Amino acid sequence: MPQIDSSHLRWKLTLRRAYLTKYGCRNVIDCCQGQGVIWKILRKEFDVQYVGFDRKSRTGKAQVDDSARVLSIPGHTWDVIDIDTYGAPWKHLYAAAKTITIPTTIFLTVGRKGSIYSLPIEERKALALNFSKPVPVPLQVRLHERAMRLILSQLPSKFRLEIIECSMVEYYMRETTYIALRVEPRRT
């Protein structure tokens, strides 16, 4: 399946609308903006301050090669973080989790590409696995699903964040998972 910006738009918009309506939003950072379709629609419905960027160069948007570095800068006031990397968003999630100081909604798109998929380093670390040989694809799929849930469940202990709510939608034969998280920093 080719990479198409804003593919499966209905599911992405549904999750975002539900969380934005429930928790509100003021400042949005869109780390992998693509063509900006999703937030162009949502900004008509929600009054937000928006900044978006992507590694692809396009007129009228900021080009940033490593948006995870932007997320790792402390002192930001983003209460919505949108991460859609066409693959594993864990590097971005970890960078953001280190700097969250206010209640925040995070949208993640987790993608894997069938037979060419291999477990990202963050997923291998979450599973405490060190592979010396290639892992069969059917096993990789099962490990990926377990690792994804482990990474999310470890957020509270690794980053002193409390998960208030988490929703997931799996799409297209489990090749893509859309996640919405509401987190708050622990005060104690």
Task: Identify whether 85 is part of a domain.
Answer: yes
Q: Identify the pLDDT of residue 8.
A: 73
Task: Identify whether 56 is part of a domain.
Answer: yes
pLDDT at position 159 over 90: yes
Task: Identify whether 137 is part of a domain.
Answer: no
Give the CA-trace dihedral at 41, 91, 140, 117, to 10 degrees.
Answer: 60
Task: Identify whether 39 is part of a domain.
Answer: yes
Number of domains in the chain: 1
For residue 72, the domain's CATH number is 3.40.50.150
Chain segment 70-81, per-residue pLDDT in tens: 888 898 889 999
Which range marks the domain in which residue 13 is found? 9-113+159-185
DSSP 56: S
Q: Identify the pLDDT of residue 62.
A: 60
Q: Is residue 126 within 8 Å of residue 102, measured between CB atoms?
A: no
Q: CA-CA distances (angstroms) from residue 77 to 51, 103, 183? A: 12, 10, 14
Task: Identify whether 51 is part of a domain.
Answer: yes
Task: Identify whether 1 is part of a domain.
Answer: no
Task: Identify whether 31 is part of a domain.
Answer: yes
SS3 71: helix
Mean pLDDT of the region 30-39? 85
Question: 46-50, 94-98, 168-172 — which is least confidently predicted?
Answer: 168-172
Alpha helices in the chain (DSSP H): 9-23, 37-45, 67-71, 90-97, 121-126, 137-159
* Cα distance between residue 167 and residue 21, in whole Å: 14
